[in-house]
Amino acid sequence: MGRSQAVPPRSAGGSGSSGDQARFGPDGDDEGCPILHVDMDAFFAAVEVRKRPELRGRPVVVGGIGPRGVVSSASYEARRFGVHSAMPTMRARALCPGAVFLPPDFAEYSAASRAVMEIFREVTPLVEPLSLDEAFLDVAGARRLLGRPVEIARLIRARVREQERITCSVGVAPTKFVAKLGSTRAKPDGLLVVPAGRVLEFLHPLPVEALWGVGERSAETLRRFGLHTVADLAQARIEMLRGAVGEAAAQHLHELAWGRDPRTVSPEQVEKSIGAEVTFDTDISDPEAIRRALLALAEKVGVRMRRAGQVGRTVSIKVRTADFRTVNRSRTLAGATDVAHELFEVSWALFVALKSTDRIRLVGVRMEGLTDARETPRQLTLDEPERGWREAEAAADAAAARFGRPVVRPASLLGRDDLRRTENQARP
């Protein structure tokens, strides 16, 4: 996928160049531009600042706070020091020692995401979430009630600011690809329209990395062929592109370079898996510590599945050793479940079966083959009690909703918070 860093955002404190404002500003011609891409600004960091107003204006970094932690989100104040997502936390601390470093609170971010997505769905049912903090919207059918696409974009931005006390940036364009580029250029807290008749004027000066499907290695290959900008790629012979990136990618990139993206907004996308993983501060080999980690991860996955109304049949684990070898193992159950205790038992059995003697850097738990819990009948076993783990975990969910998740935890995890670690939520 193309990288948003390849699209230069406007200045954090300004409104972009006068040329950008005249050609692609918030008052641009939005005729034939039914697609919106809405992207929350520094979402995790913004939610943390919302909880702690005293942090407003200070550099805030969210992510793993241990020595092997990775930055998940950085406020724009921190970004001025060169801090960005996916950067090792140790590097972020060196660049910005005065920043406030906070561990992620995914329950809080999920709640904020649901509220934001609900605002989108009040405008149009055609909402395609890409992650917790961004979504595509098709607002063609909302024009009669709410006005032009740019007016709908302004309405969304105002509602997010007033109701959720955070900000977002919006790109308005004829296609999904260009709308996403537009929201990146508009950041932070901005709105940008790419008129249908000026797509190539907007697109062609960008570096090839801006195109979906161009990563670092493919960008290096394209540059070796003399293709540095989107315009270079658009004008290149298709035979040259095939030689550089292969048949399928060549056609895909050629179409994007000419602004052609036939994909529609698909609101019915369902998560195919839900998972969580943990990177230990130091490599470990203690089976009991690994067992506790798998139990904590299974609990997180179970909670997320129940919140999403999903059940699954295939449990998988990921184990990464100190020398960075990664092993994946999975087992398919007889029936679908969302019970964390069942996830843990299978996960632990899969790990034991590895008979690993290596020191472990990372473990992960994932449930795959998800279906809607309401439409998936559960098969009871003959020896299963009338009330058991499912009811206990449902009660824990209810208690957590009222008092916070740490109020109910597996007994074996109590008092083990000294295992400081970086949790990375796995995205489909």
Active site residues: 134
Q: Judging by beta carbons within 10 Å of its beta carbon (0-12, 13-18, 19+), is residue 208 exposed, middle or buried?
A: buried
CA-based nearest residue to 151, from 20, 27, 39: 27
Residues pairing with 73 in the sheet: 62
C-alpha 39: how far from chain center: 11
Angle among Cα 164, 76, 279 to the nearest 5 degrees reads 90
Two tokens, residue 188: 């932070």
Number of H-type helices and E-type strands within the chain: 16, 14
Residues 6+ apart with CB under 8 A from 225: 236, 240, 243, 244
Is residue 261 annotated as involved in ligand binding? no
Centre a 10 Å sphere on the Cβ of residue 125 and count the other Cβ atoms it contains. Answer: 13
Residues 6+ apart with CB under 8 A from 397: 303, 306
Task: Give the Cα separation of 33 and 193 in Å (integer).
Answer: 8
Q: Judging by beta carbons within 10 Å of its beta carbon (0-12, 13-18, 19+), is residue 369 exposed, middle or buried?
A: middle
Task: Give the Cα separation of 213 and 70 in Å (integer).
Answer: 24
Is residue 338 annotated as involved in ligand binding? no
CA distances from 113 to 55, 86, 117, 142 (A): 21, 20, 6, 22
Q: Judging by beta carbons within 10 Å of its beta carbon (0-12, 13-18, 19+), is residue 219 exposed, middle or buried?
A: buried
333: left (phi over 0), alpha (psi -120 to 50) or beta: beta
Task: Give the Cα separation of 4 and 97 in Å (integer).
Answer: 26
Q: Where are the alpha helices (DSSP H) in 124-203?
A: 143-146, 149-159, 176-186, 199-203
Annotated binding residues: 39, 133
As annotated, the binding site for Mg(2+) includes: 39, 133
